[in-house]
Amino acid sequence: MSTAAEHLLILEPGRAERNYWRDLYRYRELFYILAWRDIAVRYKQTVIGVAWALIRPFLTMVIFTVVFGRLAKLPTDGDAPYALLVLAGMLPWTLFSTALNEAATSLTTNEKLISKVYFPRLIVPTAAVIVAFVDMAISLLLLVGVMAYYQFMPGWQIVLLPVFAILAVLASLGPGLYITALNVKYRDFRYIIPFIAQFGLYVSPVGFSSNVIPEQWRLVYSLNPIVCVIDGFRWCLLAGNATLDLHSMAVSFAMLLFLLWLGVRKFRSMERSFADII
């Protein structure tokens, strides 16, 4: 295959692995197969299987539409039906929170692998995140159904939807990596996830439109990295009814990148000791 000299490897304490990113690429097959495993296993031994990916967002959509749209009478974006506004926020939010949850618990659920085999550990949380994509792809069917019900036609913007989907996953990967690395050492951190998921649902524009946020609070509000993802989704799906606030998008996106950098850095610095302390 290749000569031994090419595989010269020196192991020393604290030695930064220079070929880490190349290694990551070399282990891509493991990434595919771990992602495939998580997908294959996700709905095994369930009665309704993938229908879960439809039922959960549907019920949440109904409740949010009633609470925010009917009872609180919040305005929608343009003339888009409120249910559609909620669903367009719901999809990226579910994508984010599922991905965050999967990433954050991935190392501890793959404990056996980590203590017995070497591979760039970054593979585990990134492969776990793929499951969330599949769930979202299924949920898109629900979106199609609701759009058909309201006879609503999305515009050309929809072609950019995958970009924002990737953005949602990147947003989850930052905190996900940070928490999963810490979770290896202190199992307390897994209790943070349900909290983030619950809390985040209300500070992010899932049940309401970003337009209802008063101007003086916009900056603080935009520090939430999910804001740019959800606003992006609405812009893609609601065919010109939603507008993009570029200023707020930029702040939110910068925050997203910062968290991602922080997560990767923390993960990399702790990675080498994972097998000892897991």
Partner 1 sequence: MSEIVIRSEGLGKSYFIGHEGSREKYTTLRDVIARQARQVWQSSRRAWRGQAVIAGRDIEEFWALRDVSFEIKQGEVVGIIGRNGAGKSTVLKILSRITEPTEGRVTLRGRVASLLEVGTGFHPELTGRENIFLNGAILGMTRAEIKRKFDEIVAFAEADKFLDTPVKRYSSGMNIRLAFSVAAHLEPEILLVDEVLAVGDAQFQKKCLGKMRAVASSGRTVLFVSHNMAAVDALCSRGIVLQSGDVLCDCSIRDAVSHYLSTIRSTTCEAEVWDRDFVASSVRLAGLTVLSRNVPTNGVLVGDEAIFRIAYVADVPHRQCHFRIKVVNAFDQVVAKLMTDTCEDVDELPNGAGHIDCVVPAMNLMPGEYRLSLALKVGHDRVDFVADAGRFQVIPAAMSANGKLPDEGICILPCQWRQRSASSARQAAIV
47 touches partner 1 by CB under 8 A: no
Nearest to 93 by CA among 187, 168, 170: 168
Question: For residue 237, with 0-12 CB atoms within 10 Å meaning exposed, 13-18 middle and 19 or more buried, which class applies?
Answer: buried
Report the residue number, 28 or 70, with the smaller CB distance to partner 1: 28
Residue 3 Cβ, how far from partner 1 at the closest point, in Å?
9
Residue 54 Cβ, how far from partner 1 at the closest point, in Å?
22
Fill in the DSSP letter of residue 95: H
Contact (CB, 8 A) for 154 and 147: yes
CA atoms within 13 A on the CB side of 139: 26
276 touches partner 1 by CB under 8 A: yes
Radius of gyration of the chain (CA): 21
Report the residue number, 19 or 198, with the smaller CB distance to partner 1: 19
Phi/psi of residue 213, each to 5°?
-80, 125
Report the residue number, 127 or 255, with the smaller CB distance to partner 1: 127
Quickly count: other Cβ atoms within 10 Å of residue 262's Cβ.
14
Task: Specify the stretch interacting with partner 1 by CB under 8 A; choose among 3-11, 129-137, 201-209, 258-266.
Answer: 3-11
Contact residue for partner 1 among 62, 117, 148, 220 (CB under 8 A): 117
Contact residue for partner 1 among 47, 71, 186, 195 (CB under 8 A): 186
Nearest to 270 by CA among 189, 171, 172: 189
Contact residue for partner 1 among 44, 151, 153, 217 (CB under 8 A): 44
Query: Where along the sequence are the contacts to partner 1 (CB under 8 A)?
Result: 1-2, 4-5, 7-15, 29-30, 33-34, 37, 40-41, 44-45, 110, 112-119, 185-186, 272-273, 275-277
